[in-house]
Amino acid sequence: MRERHDFFSDNTAGICPEALAAFTAANAGFAPSYGADPISVQAADAIRALLDADADVRFVSTGTVANAIACATLCPPAGAVLAYEEAHIRFHEAGAPGFFGGGLEIEPLAGIDGRIDPAALDQALTRPRGAEERRPAALSLTNATEYGTVYDDAMLARLSVVAKDAGLRIHLDGARLANAVAAGFDPRTLARAGVDIAVLGGSKAGAPFSEAIVLLDKRLAEGFDERLKRSGQLTSKMRLLAAPWIGLLDGQGDDRPWIAHARHANAMARRLADGLPFATAYPVESNAVFVSMDDAQESALAARGWRFARFEDGSARFVCSWATSAEAVDALIADARDIG
């Protein structure tokens, strides 16, 4: 039996052609180290243009360290980061935000379809807290969310305004921000809404291993490189982390590969959702499809080689990537209908 990881995660796909070409080009010759090279500058400029923001940009190797360092920068050790109750930083980072943040806490907020309920944020910010409780210092938002849904511009701005009025800093986990943008989210909203640090996902979008930490509040750059150094993320050959972004963001508007590939992944997810014989658990708004599937159906699909993930809520997750083909989608649909 040949195992198929096409839909287990968008991490299972390889490097997209544009990112690979830029990576290969950056590998030629010699260049200054630790980000003092023209390739890193060019990549940072491309990200600034995408967000229409005068920001400082750093490149790291994983989303875990990017989000953890971002949270640690925005929240003191005795404080709390407010986040959706099933956010990635709460359940899937092995406590990295608390480790890098000297003990900071992730405080869960209720929501609907993966998005924070504004009423839950209001309640967390206004309820009395005793001396023994953590006080909120930051709000973390994820777009696209853990369940594949998308905050539109107004939703994100609404939450950001409330958090800012309460004196909180804002972190954006954008591991799949490209898919949110492809679904209609305007990346310029981040700066306009007062997001302090945004993490832009490159690995899931087709880069080999690169995430961009965008310091939209440039004052946070003071001491930030020291944080990276202590965490082992001030990479000497920084140009090789930065270069894929040149390929991903080459071009104009929605034709940039970072967005165009995400648009394709979103379309494949929609095709898959429309064809599967299982009920969807959440709206299909980006590149992930969550369905209700019993154990017998899961085992039958697994016996045919398909690999996918089970989530905390019991739903089965199928994720499409830049490399997902219509043929693979149709093959999965055919097997699912056969065993369904």
User: What does the pLDDT read at residue 131?
Assistant: 85
* Structure tokens that stand for 238 in this block: 């920084």
Q: Within 10 Å of residue 174's Cβ, how many Cβ atoms?
A: 30
Separation CA 131–CA 235 (nearest Å): 41
Which two structure tokens, joined as six digits, stand for 228?
């990276």
Fold of 255-339: Aspartate Aminotransferase, domain 1 (3.90.1150)
The pLDDT value given to residue 25: 97
Give residue 268's pLDDT: 98
Residues of the chain with CATH 3.90.1150.10: 255-339
Which pLDDT score, from 0 to 100, does residue 132 have?
82
Q: CATH for 17-253? A: 3.40.640.10
Distance between CA 78 and CA 89 in Å, rounded?
Answer: 17
Distance CA 35, CA 176 (A): 24
Q: What is the spatial distance between Cα 241 and Cα 94, in angstroms, rounded to a whole number?
A: 24
Residue 43: predicted pLDDT: 98
For residue 2, the model assigns a pLDDT of 82
The answer to whether 214 and 54 are in contact (CB under 8 A) is: no
* pTM reported for the whole predicted model: 0.96
DSSP at 227: H
Q: Report how far apart, in Å, the C-alpha atoms of 325 and of each of 12, 70, 92, 139, 149 are.
A: 14, 35, 28, 37, 22
- Residue 340: per-residue pLDDT: 67
pLDDT tens for the 340 residues of the chain, in order = 688 999 999 999 999 999 999 999 999 999 999 999 999 999 999 999 999 999 999 999 999 999 999 999 999 999 999 999 999 999 888 899 999 999 999 999 999 999 999 999 999 999 999 888 899 999 999 999 999 999 999 999 999 999 999 999 999 999 999 999 999 999 999 999 999 999 999 999 999 999 999 999 999 999 999 999 999 999 999 999 999 999 999 999 999 999 999 999 999 999 999 999 999 999 999 999 999 999 999 999 999 999 999 988 899 999 999 999 999 999 999 999 998 6
Q: According to DSSP H, which parts of 101-150 are helical? A: 118-126
Q: CATH 3.40.640.10 region(s) of the chain? A: 17-253
pLDDT at site 1: 67
